[in-house]
Structure 1
Amino acid sequence: MGEPRGPSFLPGRPPSGFGPPVPPETSYPSPYAAPTPQPPPAPPPRSPRKVSPLVAAVLAAVLAGGAAGYAAGAVGDEEPAAAAAGPDVTGLEAVAARVLPSVVSIETAEGQGSGFVFDERGRILTNAHVVAGSSEVSIELQDGRRLRAEVLGDDPASDVAVLEPETARGLRAAELAAGAQAKPGVGDTVLAIGSPLGLSGTVTSGIVSALDRSVRLGEGGERRRALQTDASINPGNSGGPLVDADGRVIGINTAIATLDQQRGGSIGIGFAIPVADARAAARAIID
């Protein structure tokens, strides 16, 4: 006290009684609406004018539910060789669709957070501050199933905890980055996935803003190195994965910087525990 420290670092669990915001109802014209039929064009003049083409790019993100549906165009009888192309399931949309089934929402008597399946036994990685004081928690999968999970152990110094669900049936492990893959570069694209404010299956995108930031992790934890990202992270994202553009987990979202402790929210500065540190802590807990 008495010495300014700059932004406060807060874990991503919401305060008691803080509910999800209700988004405003806004309607937009469909970008896929059929054009109004026009009469046949007149014959072109001798010196036709050049018309600049309009180039439009559409980026689709999977934001909820853990599953994406894709509609393919029907083939017309008069043009059997031509088929309407469906959405190109590539890029960040494909990454989100691949990782979301491994992400879970975690509910405790004290609050809510996120986690993800990290091994073939269905065990789950999350933050120690998410499950602090709990021996058993409730998890919700992306398909809506609810399971009980035992807290195998936690490491408050690293802010890592391991959960074991009552069954591994239907659980799919996320891919953890290893070796050089676990060392992202500044400017690399990343996705943060979790349940901010209880909104399960939320995906946000950004970049790696900095490496090896010294951040106080957990509640009263020690200062540890962390990845900094501008991907939106809010209360409830804690314990969820930060993944690279190939869908590999490179960190655990754990804290944010905020200018107001009472109304903390994303200001574009979030922190994640590097996956190598999280893996080492998890192994120590399991062993």
Structure 2
Amino acid sequence: MRRKLALLGAAAALALGAGGVGAAVTLGVTGGSDSSGSPAAVAGVSTKGDATTAQVAKAVQPSVVSVQTVATSGEGTGSGIILRADGTIMTNAHVVSGARQVTVKFSDGRTAPAKILGVDRQHDIAVIQAQGASGLRPAVLGNSSKLAVGDPVLAVGSPLGLDGSVTSGIVSALGRSIQEGGGDGGDGGDGGDQQDLPPFMQGRFTQQQSTVIKNAIQTDAAINPGNSGGALVNGAGQVIGVNTAIATSGDGSGSIGVGFAIPVNDARKAVNRILTTGSI
């Protein structure tokens, strides 16, 4: 499963990091409006990295799942973030797009079938529900508007199907705009309107629609196919982004140290819209 992207205003080839209201207050999606006032996944630490990498990883891993899909075009693997103890999980829309079957694998090795509650293709966010789940550990959502370049971050997910993998890095840049481009298998992509792509990128994709992710977080934490939908967390273990794309050298290889995540503030809004109205 792989879709590709263009970084708007820059000559770079990218690939999606996937292998494969009022009721907002009552929806139970954790995390406050101000990360400085939100609980930390690692107790007693700040968002700037007082905890060790091992402490943050231990706190966050139970809240991140592997998402395995079966579609008419093949099988795929992505990641997801537990939002509620009942099995409500956030992932990327491109991870589950076109899936006939979705299975979630938890950090303790248990698996459960999941159904798609809705997708927001515009923001590349989907919500799925693990069936028969209870007592799960929800992730703590932080505030992506509080991020600064240089802040330490961890990427948690299932790159290449390797469940519960953790990589570390920093926030390399903020406010990036990236344009998702086509699917070359497994993700049920929408097929290629390439008029908005730089000339050197045109002709490389097959999708008919594209998605522009605005205000993306750039990080040098290693993100690879299968990380899509997983958590980018700060030094306190709060989720501040949803991993979604990587830059590549142009041959579809893995991470070269430039990855992108959807800001959690935008992802939270998309989740609330999905839970309220369904697919958007």
Question: Which of 211, 215, 222 is residue 225 of structure 1 equivalent to?
Answer: 215
Instruction: Kindly provide the amino acid, as one letter, of the partner of residue 243 in structure 1.
Output: V
Q: Does 1:187 align with 2:162?
A: no
Instruction: Kindly provide the amino acid, as one letter, of the partner of residue 118 in structure 1.
Output: L
The structure with the largest helix share of the pair is 2
- Residues 196 and 234 in structure 1, CA contact (< 8 A), matched pair in contact too: yes
Question: Which of 221, 235, 240 is residue 230 of structure 2 equivalent to?
Answer: 240
Question: Which of 136, 139, 162 is residue 199 of structure 1 equivalent to?
Answer: 162
Q: Which residue of 2 aligns with 1:97?
A: 58
Cα distance in 2 for partners of 1:221, 1:114 equals 19
Instruction: Kindly provide the amino acid, as one letter, of the partner of residue 189 in structure 1.
Output: P
Q: Does 1:108 align with 2:69?
A: yes
Cα distance in 2 for partners of 1:193, 1:276 equals 18
- Mean Cα displacement is larger for which, 201-210 or 131-140? 131-140
State which structure, 1 or 2, has the greater radius of gyration over its C-alpha atoms: 1
- Mean Cα displacement is larger for which, 128-137 or 229-238? 128-137
| Structure 1 residue runs without a partner (length 5+) | 16-89
Question: Which of 136, 145, 154 is residue 119 of structure 2 equivalent to?
Answer: 154
Cα distance in 2 for partners of 1:233, 1:258 equals 11
Cα deviation digits, residues 31-57 of structure 1 (max 9, x gap): xxxxxxxxxxxxxxxxxxxxxxxxxxx
Instruction: Kindly provide the amino acid, as one letter, of the partner of residue 15 in structure 2.
Output: L
Cα deviation digits, residues 192-245 of structure 1 (max 9, x gap): 000000010100000000111011147421242200000000000000000000
Q: Which residue of 1 aligns with 2:18?
A: 13
User: How far is 1:91 from its partner?
Assistant: 1.2
The structure with the largest strand share of the pair is 2
User: How far is 1:246 from its partner?
Assistant: 0.2
User: How far is 1:7 from its partner?
Assistant: 1.5
State the identity as a percent: 52
TM-score by length of 1: 0.69
Cα deviation digits, residues 76-120 of structure 1 (max 9, x gap): xxxxxxxxxxxxxx5111110000001100110131100110124
Cα distance in 1 for partners of 2:101, 2:115 equals 4
Q: Which residue of 2 aligns with 1:273?
A: 262
* 1:130 alignment partner, SS class: helix
Q: Which residue of 2 aligns with 1:132?
A: 97
Cα distance in 1 for partners of 2:19, 2:114 equals 21
TM-score by length of 2: 0.70
Cα distance in 2 for partners of 1:117, 1:9 equals 27
Cα distance in 1 for partners of 2:230, 2:54 equals 18
- Residues 18 and 244 in structure 2, CA contact (< 8 A), matched pair in contact too: no
**What is the Cα-based RMSD across aligned positions, in Å?**
1.9
- Residues 11 and 238 in structure 1, CA contact (< 8 A), matched pair in contact too: yes
Cα 1:222–1:133 shift into 2, 3 Å: same
**Count of equivalent residues:** 208
Instruction: Kindly provide the amino acid, as one letter, of the partner of residue 187 in structure 1.
Output: G
Cα distance in 2 for partners of 1:92, 1:214 equals 29
With a CA cutoff of 8 Å and minimum separation of 6, indicate the structure with the bigger relative contact order.
2
- Residues 127 and 274 in structure 2, CA contact (< 8 A), matched pair in contact too: yes
